[in-house]
Amino acid sequence: MTDAPASAVAPATELEARLFAVESSLGALSAALRTRDASGIELHAAELHRALASAIGQFSDAARHGRVPPALRSRLASASGQVVAQRESLARATAALDRAIDVLLPRESAAVYSACGSAERSGYSGGVISA
């Protein structure tokens, strides 16, 4: 066995491992999002961020040397599409939540505070308190 095939196999297995970490993190984040598990969402989003950063670095290095197998390139594109879909879904959910909060807790006038303090105390007109 020569060193050339072994060196070509090692990067592919490393790419596979990095991609598997991304796919696993995506799956875990999807499950946490479905169950609305806030701590799980935070944990798995951080894991996904680390896995993506690691995978992108590894894939970039491999692409510069022309060693990204087509199957892994396709899986990376699929994972990227899933990330985009989750991001868009979260953006829509956040916008819907913001609208619901605005309906339930309407914003008061733009000037919440005046020179005399809060709007509730605007009748207060001086430094002397009378009893």
Model confidence pLDDT, tens digit, residues 79-120: 999 999 988 888 888 888 888 888 888 776 555 555 666 555
Range with the poorest average pLDDT among 8-17, 36-45, 65-74, 83-92: 8-17
φ and ψ at 76, to 5 degrees? -65, -40
Burial class (CB within 10 angstroms; exposed 0-12, middle 13-18, buried 19+) of 118: exposed
The encoded tokens of residue 67 equal 């060693």
In this structure, is residue 117 part of a structural domain? Answer: no
Whether residue 63 lies inside any domain: the answer is yes
Query: Does residue 131 form part of some domain?
Result: no
114: Cα separation from own chain's centroid: 39
Strand pairing class (117-118; 113-114):
antiparallel
Does residue 46 have a pLDDT over 70?
Answer: yes
Compute the distance between CA of residue 70 and CA of residue 60 in angstroms, rounded to an integer: 14
Supply the range of the domain harboring residue 70: 3-106
Contact 126, 116 (CB under 8 A): no
Residue 129 resides in a domain? no
Total structural domains within the chain? 1
pTM summary value: 0.66
How many other β-carbons are positioned within 10 Å of the β-carbon of residue 93? 12
112 lies in some domain: no
* 116 within domain boundaries: no
Does a structural domain hold residue 81? yes
Residue 121 is assigned to a structural domain of this protein: no
Contact 16, 31 (CB under 8 A): no
Task: State the average pLDDT for the chain.
Answer: 80
The answer to whether 25 and 48 have CB atoms below 8 angstroms apart is: yes
